[in-house]
Amino acid sequence: MRHKVAGHRLSRTSEHRLAMRRNLAASLIEHETISTTIEKAKEVKPFVEKLITLAKKGTLQSRRQVISLLGNRDVIDCEGDKPEKKGTVVGKLFSEVGPRYLDRKGGYTRIIRLSLRRLGDNGQLVLLQLVGQDEGPKKKTKTRKKTKKAVEVEEVEVAEIEVEEVAETPEMDAADQTLEDQDATEADQKD
């Protein structure tokens, strides 16, 4: 019986599963999006979410917990002739990823199914991404600009309406005076 046994075996030994989970989580934190199979993504997603929750705290104790769970792999940039070290995965997790989700209570990752299949075993491929990597401040500034433009358009429309009302007011006064004069003449004629 497998009472209260969580997780999938994925046809691997426990050491292999642990190493695979650490490698996938470190790659996700480093690149912020990875392509893998649906089973591996479902296995790694809760692990990464727990790491991000610890990173949001930002304490020394939480940093030590993340290092014990994940390890502290170097982030290396290979764009130039020589590879250069840019930092560590834990450093990026605590300096960039953790503060990004301070106002979010959970759901830091998403799984997007791809129509592609792996050639060897026809496994379903998915994208595992960190949520909001490209939509954070950009969406907010766009909506602010739209609201400012909308407010400006509304102010212009209100100003045009006020100008029309001001333009109509003297004519209305003249029309009212004409009606009052006619009423006065009719009252004089009756008397």
Residue 134: C-alpha distances to residues 41, 49, 64, 137, 147 (Å): 21, 18, 29, 8, 21
Which architecture does CATH list for 14-133?
A: Alpha-Beta Complex (3.90)
Pair 112, 129: CB distance under 8 Å = yes
Higher pLDDT, 153 or 84: 84
For 10-39, the pLDDT digits (tens) are 999 999 999 999 999 999 999 999 999 999
Contacts for 26 with CB less than 8 Å, ≥ 6 apart: 70, 71, 73, 89
For 64-91, the pLDDT digits (tens) are 999 999 999 999 888 878 888 999 999 9
The C-alpha angle with vertex 24 and arms to 82 and 100, in degrees rounded to 5, equals 85
Pair 50, 152: CB distance under 8 Å = no
Q: Using DSSP, state whether 77 is helix, strand or coil.
A: strand
